Amino acid sequence: MTKQAEKNPAENLQLLEEVAGLVGTPYWLVDAATLRGRIADIKRVAEAADVKVRFAVKSCPATMVLAEMHRNGIWIDAVSGNEVLRAMHAGYPGGHNPPKIMFTADVFRDNAMHVVMENNVLPNIGSPGQVQDLAQAGYADEIAVRINPGFGHGHVNACDTGGPSSKHGVWMSQAAEVGKAAAQAGMRITMLHAHIGSGPRMEELLANLERLAKEFALLAPHFPSVNAVSLGGGIPHTYREDLPAVDIAPLAGLFVEARRILQEAMGREIRLEIEPGRHFVAPAATLVGRVSDVKKTEKNEKGEGRTFVMVDAGFVDLARPAMYGSYHRISVPGRAGEATESVVVAGPLCESGDVFTRDAGELLTPRDLPMPQRGDLLCLHDGGAYGYAMASNYNSIGRAPQVWLEEDGSKRLMSRRETVEEILSLEEGPEGSAL
């Protein structure tokens, strides 16, 4: 089945206009049925191999999404102190037994150390110096260690989280020394973790995870207290409508083999974990904007002329295309079935890079779409992962609202549109305030 064949409520023009009438545009539409379908798919594969699943909060930290994960028994991987607090706000408990929340980072920033200590959250350290940071804070309990195994893949280089160019994790050859330092500080390393890339092709992921299990097996003698191993996330999602949806069923066999390799090396039962983010949430949210104009440039010595479809959504709402040329399916629901033309879709920001149809080389890549008219709604699909989560206030624009679409057709406001008063509330006025 291709992506194009999947039904999506964001193709329902009547529904989209109804929501627009309630909250304005742009807005995010989050489909509960799609989210629950992805949760069920991942749980089915994991449970077949007795694997514990965490959700990478950074991909989509909305409280209603976290609450849905909690109801389904999904644990949490948080990467900031505030993400830990978000998870607890959604109903997750702190504590190590079991460690339903794990804090993963290479640096303790802001309130992170306090949150870890106050709530007895399992810290998963990615830099050797964090052992000293924890010891200085008076921490003497279980820890996890994130390993950089030296290899991995990402859907773009910026998402490759394993190898010499990655800032994440402790290099394999330094792992034993971290273990000794932790023991001297009164800490026990009970979990090893690695994440080797975000969104590679499935065959790459399977090969990398098998290799990762073997690398962890080589580390086993240095970590006699380890009772859990996380193989990280990185399950891909198909963004392009002309390609088949990703089949995650082969992961079950991989997990069984990984467990066998690890338990044979360690000589004991271990808890095997994964921590998807993107695959859970990517297809569940759509950014809905309204077309404000269609205009053209003409060919000259600098290049070809283009047709620009101007919309009220921009990279303050969905940053991925501007950041690294990510592809998102675009539709004009009110023009479905009409003849297509080559257009560039651009947003309202005072920034030349505010274009949704571009590639990783920052080049315009026009898209064949039915020609919109002023006032038409336009949808940017598959934005649930790193969509609203990366939203900003650039140009002093408030973040767009999020609307939850329940399976019975009812709608709930997840977050309202941010106002300038809320943005200014962080500032101390024209004169500032004394420190």
- The catalytic residues are 350
CA–CA distance, 426 with 435 (Å, rounded to integer): 15
Alpha helix locations (H) across 232-319? 250-266, 278-281
**Who contacts 139 (Cβ-Cβ below 8 Å, separation ≥6)?**
116, 117, 123, 187
* Beta strand ranges found along 337-389 (DSSP E): 340-346, 367-370, 377-380
Residue 145 near residue 124 (C-beta atoms within 8 A): yes
- Enter the tokens of residue 250: 């082969």
Residue 121 near residue 105 (C-beta atoms within 8 A): no
In 3D space, the residue among 258, 215, 251 whose CA is nearest the CA of residue 236 turns out to be: 251
Give DSSP secondary structure letters for 381-420. -S-SSSSGGG---GGGPPPPPEEEE-TTS-EEEEEPPPPH
Q: What are phi and psi of 348, to 5 degrees?
A: -90, -5
Residue 313 near residue 287 (C-beta atoms within 8 A): yes
57 Cα distance to chain centroid: 7
22 Cα distance to chain centroid: 28
- Enter the tokens of residue 249: 């069923």
Residue found by looking up tokens 């560039």 in the block? 344
Residue found by looking up tokens 């193709």 in the block? 11
